[in-house]
Amino acid sequence: MAAQESGLATSALTPPQTGTAPTEVLIEFPDNRLLIDLCGEYDRNLADIEQKTGVQIVRRGNQLAIMGEEDSRRQAGEVLHALYERLETGRDVETGDIDRELRLGGGDSYTGARDGDQLEMFKGGKVEIKTRKKLVEPRTAAQQAYVQALFENELAFGIGPAGTGKTYLAVAVGVNMFIGGHVDRIILSRPAVEAGERLGFLPGDMKDKVDPYMQPLYDALNDFLPGKQLAKLIEEKRIEIAPLAFMRGRTLSNAFVVLDEAQNATSMQMKMFLTRLGEGSRMVITGDRTQIDLPRGVPSGLADAERLLKTIPKISFNYFTSKDVVRHPLVAAIIEAYEADS
């Protein structure tokens, strides 16, 4: 959406001389209440944008002055426009939203929801995933492509380092398709492999023993579904969370199926899991090739699947790098340090 369409006005504070670009740009925001939300508490949103774009932003009444290099000013202005338009639609602005606009370039605005759509495409290819508790918005171009692949393909792979949203987005899409009636159940699985340490025998029944391995999947579901509803769906087995070994012999029809930590599946386990795909189902395989916890000499089923299936139509492979990490900024730096040393 252009600045004029949203009521925003932009002008140069210091008129440039011929052939000289202005060093300051002024953006006017008509709704002062929304401008307060845009700036954030103690102007923390402005400070975040300043730090990440290298500009200086000064508030003057209902206007923001952006000072700095031309490209940086343009980037900051686009992000401010996009965030303000987000506020106009009734959404909040959080740190993650600023990060997303910076990564995706800003400037391409929301046009509003289309009634009845669970997956909502906006101008510029922006995507929202509706769940019962929150709207989930991909923060990087790779995440956007991944989400679109999940909706478009019956079998999709998400491969990349920790913190890039592979599992989180897959579960969000699964919940979206479930509440939209596109699938009858959600099945989440991962290999019950210890990460480099022996935990010994765990107390309790079978559920108590496997739940520690499945906890990341429970965490994701709790973000998208109210607690009582989630508990009821699990009790009714409309949502299942189970170790990979429990998949043998089953045919998974009309289900959204996610295999997490697939790098810890053996080649035979991967083949077994992939051949569970039934009519009306979608399957997502996520994994990180740098975090294989299998015994020495046991090949990863994820690597084999990638090698054997890459040329088959309607199977998508999406890859993530440290640039797609959406956890604490230090996580990306840690991943890059380990990659440089390998």
Residue carrying structure tokens 């340490």? 197
pLDDT over 60 at 83, yes or no: yes
Buried b (16+ CB within 10 A) or exposed e, 39-65: bbeebebbebbbebbebebeeeeebbb
Mean pLDDT of 61-85: 87
**pLDDT category of residue 206 using cuts at 50, 70 and 90:** low
Mean pLDDT of 212-237: 89
Annotate 144-196 with DSSP letters as a single string: HHHHHHHHH-SEEEEE--TTSSHHHHHHHHHHHHHHTTS-SEEEEEE----SS
Share of the chain above pLDDT 90, in %: 36
**pLDDT category of residue 251 using cuts at 50, 70 and 90:** confident
| Domain 119-341 superfamily per CATH | P-loop containing nucleotide triphosphate hydrolases (3.40.50.300)
Residue type, 32: N
Share of the chain above pLDDT 70, in %: 80
Mean pLDDT of 188-208: 60
| Tens digit of each residue's pLDDT (9 = 90 or more) over 323-339 | 888 766 677 778 778 77
Mean pLDDT of 113-117: 37
**For position 81, what pLDDT does the model report?**
87
pLDDT over 70 at 107, yes or no: no
Enumerate the domain spans of the chain.
4-104, 119-341
**For position 123, what pLDDT does the model report?**
40
Cβ atoms 189, 243 nearer than 8 A: yes
| Tens digit of each residue's pLDDT (9 = 90 or more) over 259-307 | 999 999 999 999 999 999 999 999 999 999 988 888 888 999 999 999 9
In residues, how long is the chain?
A: 342
* CA distance linking residue 80 with residue 100, whole number of Å: 12
| Tens digit of each residue's pLDDT (9 = 90 or more) over 131-164 | 998 888 888 889 999 999 999 999 999 999 988 9
pLDDT over 80 at 200, yes or no: no
**For position 199, what pLDDT does the model report?**
42
Phi, psi of 225, deg, nearest 5: -130, 140
Average pLDDT, the chain: 81
Check whether domain 4-104 has CATH 3.40.50.2020, yes or no = no
pLDDT over 70 at 24, yes or no: yes
Cβ count within 10 A of residue 124 = 16
Q: How far apart are the first and last CA of the chain?
A: 45
Same fold, 4-104 and 119-341: no
